[in-house]
Structure 1
Amino acid sequence: MLRHLDRDRVAVIAALLAPLALAAVLVPVRSHVSNTEVALVLVVAVVAVSALGNRLAGALAALSAALWYDFFFTMPYQTFSITKSADVRTAVLLLLVGLAVSQLAARARRLEVVAITDARYLEQLHEAAAIAQRRDSAGLVDHVARQLVDLLQLRGCRFEHGKLTGHPPRLEQDGSVVTGSRTLDVGQHGMPEEEIELRAFGNGRYYGRFMMSPTPGTKPSLQARLVAVTLADQVGSALDTAQTPTRE
């Protein structure tokens, strides 16, 4: 998370400075290149900033590119006024194209994050399945408890075997969090402060539950919560297999 914040901060700074620097470099040759060519070069700066940062950085870069195009390359120079209608159209198009590019780049970045996250979820399920295949149910319980801490950003997680006491909030099979008869909006309000139970069933039989201590304010995605439910199901199946006599 911190790495992405640093990256976004750098991108915002680049959004403000990169178009200005590129425009300043082009000023000495503005009599030899058309304004359209200058606008295309400035779009490159917008693309670079958008690829590095988020929508805000891309939008700032687009606005910065349009302003410095106006300032350096339209008559009268070194002012933010435009006298030619062709230059007005070019400046407006530069801004609109820059904004469109920033949106596309931000979407591509988001899809990249989703793909990386999906791969991590798949890896976690594979790790748990590999331990289950070794019939190491105790090891699987400990491993899944650690996975849940990472997956749901928990403060801690423990497993209680074969008992149900109290009525704590519960992570359901559909990924929702229920307390009493009320379903919590995790995406809006985050996880509750008290412990949450995640029950483990094998072949329809209850074997225990993970008692999870959420970190206040965290909002794990529905996808992450569904992966957590799947991991608990793997534990339930492993515990059921461990208690099933092997036939010769």
Structure 2
Amino acid sequence: MFRAAALAMLLSCTAQAAEPARIRFGLQDDIAPFVMPDRHSGLMVDVLRDAMATQGITADFLYLPQKRTEEALRKGVVDVTTGAKPVMMLPGVMSRWPITSFHNLAITRRANLPRLDSVADLARYRVTAFNGASRMLGQDYRDAVQGNARYSEPLTLQSPLLVLKQVDVVISQRDIFNYYLDRQSYLREGDFDLVYHDILGKPNEYWFAFRTAEMRDSFERGIAALYKSGDIDRIFARYNKAYGTSREFFRPLDCRFASVKPKDC
């Protein structure tokens, strides 16, 4: 009887050990093609899923508005939030280095507005920006847009408004802008050659905050494994083919792990 009980306990422990571990990631829900909740995919989703799989861990995803991802970590709803910075007072541990980078640009139609010299110029034009831009892009940006009655931050980026001549400037990361531009129905009017003005300062880099150091270490080992195997290049190639997506979003990872590093790392 004792042997039977011991054997049952051993089998139970073995079964539990065989069950894959899981990590719950809280992801911002409005940054396609990096996160596409309706398809349960996206460049970041696929990279995280495949990185964790190299460690025998299943990645689960909860798609949230950006301002709710921190709260989800604090309440234990997720194990990882992907929009953290070292200055934030978050529970758990921070990644050892930044993971993602948002290089936001001021985008205009060349025929209408071929040149912007500084962020202060935005005060004079019809501007639409991604939701939360005035919180994230610094004081100079806030000073430029706070008195502009023709400034807006809709919940979903309205890229087509630019080619429809309903706004003069769109503030966005290039890949996100192009994704929404290509996937919304509208009639393009006239010349829609675009100019991407780099007037908004340095890219915003984001760290990940993990509930435990063990989760962080597993994630970082998984990312290193993706680069070593070349699988991450295949993911990038797939999204470039489907959506024209660049590698810019994961520039911090390329600077750390890629065999050929971007300039100015």
Please classify the TM superposition score into its range, dividing by the shorter chain length.
under 0.3
Which is richer in helix?
1
Bigger relative contact order (CA 8 A; separation at least 6): 2
Q: TM-score, normalised by structure 2?
A: 0.25
